[in-house]
Chain A
Amino acid sequence: MAENGQLTGTFRVKSGMAQMLKGGVIMDVVDAEQAKIAEEAGAVAVMALERVPADIRADGGVARMSDPEKILEIEEAVTIPVMAKARIGHFVEAQVLQALEVDYIDESEVLTPADEAHHVDKWAFDVPFVCGATNLGEALRRIGEGAAMIRSKGEAGTGNVVEAVRHMRAIVGGIRKLATLGPEELMTEAKNLQAPYELVKWVSENGRLPVVLFTAGGIATPADAALMMQLGADGVFVGSGIFKSGDPARRAQAIVRATTHYKDAKVVAEVSRGLGEAMVGKEMGDLTEGERLAVRGW
């Protein structure tokens, strides 16, 4: 949109916003009080939602966008960016979130999908979107739809980092592989990845995604965060891991420091000391197929 010489909603402005979050931790919060704890602990942004993923799992039922009242309350409480989740394919929830002026929309598999075949056309919005991906093809399809930031999916609400590791390795490994291919191999690879050719070509030439890549899903400890950063994440989303633990404020601070100093094991060791109880985790084998969130999204 152009207004007195000012151009809003450009891809540079949308993807640039994610650049400013790099090296930081984005924390799930359900109310203003949690948002303040997150900001105080050094979070670069908060994700406003009705229930953290662990509770969504426990309660069952349809999980939807948050009550606008809650979102406005959180926006009022903190000066850092406020993100919020919309259901996959639910473009009206996304329109509502844009009207509420959230700073980023997460089109999220943690909520119950509203469309079984299509994601939101993210080019139609001025507000930027982050989307989850389990592999490179999925990441590039989301970018093709206009996502300005990608995150691994992991298995949210389990406190188990294994799926986030799998997704991050798949994405980063896929990028590395593309960089070794010759120009004549790219169209076939685009077909295999089910991804737009132009994006496949760009990644092959540049050796990275054209947008920021965060990690999410199951990060519960400072060491989990540092692990994901060493595997190539630009930053970390922490969902249930903080406010489902024994001492949320301290754990939040510790995860922030471990994310900054992810290469320095001494710092990670220091911040991990006597942190109290981490959230109770879930083994992947204990989840039924229907309980797996990462398979949502197409």
Chain B
Amino acid sequence: MAGNGDRPKVGILALQGDFREHCQVFDELGVEAVEVRRHEDLEGLAGVVVPGGESTTIGRMMVESGLLDGIRSYFYKGGPVWGTCAGMVLAASATTGPRQPLLGLMNALVERNGFGRQVHSFEADLDVEGFDAPFTGVFIRAPFFEDVGPGVEVLSEIDGRVVAARGENILVTAFHPELTDDRRFHEYFLREVCGIERSQ
């Protein structure tokens, strides 16, 4: 890792969507947030976040920039990845909707816009595995996992629809922790998935 002492670096895929909000949260948590636009930007990262946005747009741009394969090989070498909303769609291995480029990092079937169009977007208090108190999820044209395969641990669901899950080195949330002041999911990602112990 170059420069900046021993601050760990987390990369945020910055092709489209709300990547700046994630960067701000990680900065607050004492981690260096790096915007990822090219393959080279993946060097030396302790974790990668695929943010919210339009999954079709981000998917096409990942193909163009070589980042679809880049993030896959980062992940297969054990690199930790967190997908929020569009990122959760992209992390899935299959979608119920029309074909689109997917990273396919998680053994799961995703339903895009599973809760309906924007007028049905909502906030809800979620029970999350391992969290002491409910977490307010902000769901925006959000997806859910309809089915998950072996190796996927469900962390939260709404009426049987999976809205948070994890695997060995991957975390997905259908909602947007970066749009709230609650830092528990960002901390969870750093601690439990990236294995970063913070001294603060």
Q: Which residues of A contact B (CB under 8 A)?
A: 3, 5-10, 12-13, 16-17, 19-24, 39, 42-45, 75, 79-81, 98, 101-104, 126-128, 256-257, 260-261
Contact = CB atoms under 8 A, between A and B. Distances in A.
A102 B60 CA distance: 24
Given A16-B176, A257-B64, A7 B53 contact: no
B121 A8 contact: yes
Given A8-B119, A22-B17, A79-B98, A103 B141 contact: yes
Given A6-B124, A42-B60, A127-B118, A22 B18 contact: yes
A24 B122 contact: no
A23 B119 contact: no
B122 A44 contact: no
Contacts of A101: 116-119
B64 A19 contact: no
B57 A8 contact: no
A128 B176 CA distance: 18
14 contacts: A5-B124, A7-B122, A10-B123, A12-B123, A13-B121, A13-B123, A16-B18, A16-B179, A17-B121, A21-B54, A24-B57, A101-B117, A101-B119, A127-B119
A103 B113 CA distance: 12
Contacts of A127: 118-119
A101 B179 CA distance: 24
B118 A12 contact: no
Interface residues of B, number: 40
A20 B57 contact: no
Contacts of A20: 17-18, 52-54, 85-86, 140-141
B141 A9 contact: no
Given A17-B140, A79-B98, A42 B61 contact: yes
Contact of A80 (B14, B19, B57, B123): B57
- Give the dominant DSSP class at A's interface: loop
A103 B85 contact: no
Given A44-B53, A79-B113, A23 B15 contact: yes
B54 A44 contact: yes
Shortest 8 CB-CB contacts between residues of A and residues of B: A103-B118, A6-B122, A23-B16, A19-B18, A44-B54, A101-B117, A13-B121, A7-B123
Given A12-B179, A20-B86, A23-B17, A45 B54 contact: yes
B9 interface: no
B56 interface: yes
Interface in B17-53: 17-21, 37, 52-53
Nearest to A212: B18
Interface of B: 14-21, 37, 52-54, 56-57, 60-61, 64, 85-86, 97-98, 112-113, 116-125, 138-141, 176, 179-180
Contacts of A5: 124-125
A79 B18 CA distance: 19
A17 B15 contact: no
A83 B39 CA distance: 33
B109 to A, nearest CB: 16
B54 A19 contact: no
Contacts of A13: 121-123, 138-140
Nearest to A261: B37
Nearest to B15: A260
Contacts of B52: 19-20
Contacts of B139: 13
A17 B118 contact: yes
A42 B56 contact: yes
Interface centre among A20, A24, A102 (most CB of B within 10 A): A20
Nearest to A104: B118
A17 B119 contact: no
Contacts of B53: 20-24, 44
B18 A8 contact: no
B57 A6 contact: no
Contacts of B124: 5-7
A153 to B, nearest CB: 23
Contacts of B21: 19
B138 A12 contact: yes
A98 B118 CA distance: 10
B16 A9 contact: no
Residue of A5, A17, A260 ringed by the most chain B CB atoms within 10 A: A260
Nearest to B117: A101
A98 B119 CA distance: 8
Nearest to B16: A23
Nearest to B179: A16
Nearest to A101: B117
